[in-house]
Structure 1
Amino acid sequence: MKPRTNMIFFYVVDLLMFSSAVEHGITSLAGVVGGSVTLPDPVLRFGFLSHGRRTVAAVNNRVLEILEDLYKENLRWNQETGHFMITDLQKNHSGVYCVESKRGRVFRSTHNLIVYDSAPTPAVETLNVSLDSCLLLCSVDKLATLSWFRDSQLLNHSISTFSLTITVDKLDLNSTFRCASANPAEEKAVNVNMTQSCRAEREVSSNLEIYLWAITIPIKLTVLIALTAAQAALH
């Protein structure tokens, strides 16, 4: 009898013998494309992993046999912990997985895995700077949940959006601000240098105002003197 046929034979026999195995509730798992996920329940001696109605792999006498080509390169089984791990996740790895242990601790557990695209990296830009505050915009190139934090405090939050703004008071410039972009499987954040984003630009704006004031005052004085001289000449 070939090894694979032998595995399937044992599988059918065990389904009949251990139909009373402890069955856990469905748990939710999330992963990102290119990442990895570990199924939490261990098979230490003899058991199976299935995806939907297909038996993906079998463990017998601490030896893993992968039965589905989709998992040949990216399914791992840890002999020490008994955990299955799927690496280099792709969207077609999403679905319902069943882990069954037929020896030792007998159980059947079900996990619903959803594989998401990687969360987009947020970008922050300054929209406006005034004497007492500045307005910042956090944006991403695809829909995500965006959040603004000051230190560990959540300041603003929006689900399924491309952008999110925040107004920062000048008294808070020494605090740590960050914008986070997240989906159910991953979060990416960018810290904001408030000195560069707000204070530096405000100083540039102030310097520009001083410059404009400096060049307009002499012009105004010149016009005023000219008008005064013209009025004196008429008298």
Structure 2
Amino acid sequence: MSSSAAQEVKNLTSTEGGSITLPDPVLTLGFLLYGKSNIAVVINSEIKLTEESFRNRVFWDKNTGLFTIIGLQRNDSGSYTVDSKTKGVLTSYRLTVYVMSSSAAQEVKNLTSTEGGSITLPDPILKLGFLLYGGSNIAVVMNSEISVLEESFRNRVFWDKNTGLFTIRGLQRNDSGIYSIDSKPEGVKKYQLTVYEPVPEPGVNRSSVSAESCTLLCFVKKSEATTLSWYRGEEILNQSRTAASLPLTVHKHNFSSSYRCEAANPAENKSFLVNPTVSCSENISDRSTSESSRPTSWLFIIPMVVFLSVAVLLVIWMCFKKEGEKE
């Protein structure tokens, strides 16, 4: 190659985990090379990857003819060549992949959800782009159509062509991690997704009662990162991030106020409403107010037993009467 031809090399840069689109097209027939190795070939407007390390990372847009490499790593730095046989043009690039700076790392958005739930990533891909988990490409949008590439996300990753948003469903704890939306030409958006256990339903027991006050105990089957809180209206009265139960003493002059026990983690919360006038009544046994506030079943059972007993005695009496008349 002459010195003048060597000056034709174009310099390109990107960052780890990012992507790069090579700006010169292959329309129907051509090759993409890394160093001297062929990594992709376009024949009859179809792409075939020939290098395993670039599988699911090199894509070719048949409308524009452009190659895109995603999930870039430092060792992807080097010389790339687009050899377009249709145009008879050979274009070379020098790609340098940099480590993401600490300031760029602060751009990661935090997202939360629960096991079995779903999450919608808030930045869109309208026509062309990629969804990555860690450094692995799990879905690609090209020509306004989605292809899911990672088997573990099949039937769980969906893309709305109207909004451009990705939704991941059926979340599991091991889905926690870094996700990236690489939208062309807008750029890369990163998210830290944390999947929590569902918050358990809280319950409330009456612990003790006196003439002047009543002590209620909010409890929950302990779950990871669950915080228990007592509220009066919107005022927090008591809170614990470590205990599986939390007491609250309500004085008689506050019985008319509204209280609630709340169990929460960063992804969701569940509440139990308490009426002290009912829960702290002397006539209510010391059990869960969720049970004691319901109508007790024996109020219905006793009348039913009495009715059935009378019916049985009446049938017996009628049988004896008929026997007497026959004699």
Offset of residue 202 of structure 1: 6.5
Partner of 2:245: 163
1:201 to 263, 273, 282: 282
**Whole-angstrom CA distance in 2 between matches of 1:2 and 1:35:** 37
Is the alpha carbon distance of 1:52 and 1:120 closer, same or farther for their aligned partners in structure 2, counting shifts above 3 Å? same
| 1:69 alignment partner in structure 2 | 151
Matching residue of 2:258: 176
Pair 1:13-2:67 in alignment: yes
TM-score by length of 2: 0.56
User: 1 CA distance for matches of 2:48 and 2:242?
Assistant: 49
Tell me how far apart the structure 2 counterparts of residues 30 and 107 of structure 1 sit (CA, whole Å).
Answer: 23
Query: Could you tell me which amino acid in structure 2 is paired with residue 155 of structure 1?
Result: L
Partner of 2:183: 101
d(CA) in 2 for partners of 1:124, 1:204: 13
SS at match of 2:170: coil
Q: Select the structure with the greater relative contact order (CA < 8 A; seq sep ≥ 6).
A: 1
Structure 1: gaps spanning 5 or more residues: 206-235
Q: Alpha-carbon deviation of 1:193?
A: 2.6
1:147 and 1:44 mapped to 2: Cα distance?
43
Deviation at 1:95? 0.7
Paired letter, 1:38: T
Q: Please name the residue that 1:128 is paired with.
A: 208
Q: Would you say the 8 A contact 1:14–1:102 is kept in 2?
A: no
- Looking at structure 1, the residues matched to 285 and 197 of structure 2 have their Cα atoms a distance apart, in angstroms, of 40
Q: Distance in 1 between matches of 2:48 and 2:262?
A: 50
Percent of residue pairs identical: 39
User: What CA distance in whole angstroms lies between the structure 2 residues aligned with 1:149 and 1:130?
Assistant: 22
Is residue 2:198 matched to residue 1:148? no
Larger Rg: 2
Gaps of 5+ in 2: 1-45, 50-54, 70-92, 99-103, 287-327
After superposition, what is the alpha-carbon deviation per residue over 1:28-57, rounded to whole angstroms, capped at 9, x for unaligned? 111100111111111111000000111000
Decide whether aligned partners of structure 1 residues 169 and 3 sit closer, same or farther in structure 2, where only a CA change above 3 A counts.
Answer: farther
Sort the Cα spacing of 1:169 and 1:83 in 2 relative to 1 into closer, same or farther, 3 A. same
Per-residue CA deviation, residues 159-190 of structure 1 (Å, 9 max, x unaligned), is: 12201010001111111100000111110111
Whether the 8 Å contact between 1:32 and 1:117 is mirrored in structure 2 is: yes
CA distance in 1, matches of 2:171, 2:196: 9
Structure 2: distance between partners of 1:6 and 1:129 = 66
Deviation at 1:13, TM superposition (A): 3.1
The letter of the residue matching 2:197 is D
Report if aligned partners of 2:230, 2:239 keep a CA contact under 8 Å in 1. yes
Equivalent residue, structure 1, for 2:127: 45
Q: 1:188 to 1:158 in 2, by over 3 A?
A: same
Tell whether 2:197 aligns with 1:117.
Answer: yes
- For the Cα contact (< 8 Å) 2:113–2:194, is it kept in 1? yes
Given that 2:56 and 2:149 are in contact with CA atoms closer than 8 Å, whether structure 1 keeps it comes out as no
Structure 2 CA distance, aligned partners of 1:10 and 1:188?
48
CA–CA separation in structure 1 for the residues paired with 2:123 and 2:257: 43
- For these two proteins, the number of residue pairs brought into alignment is 199
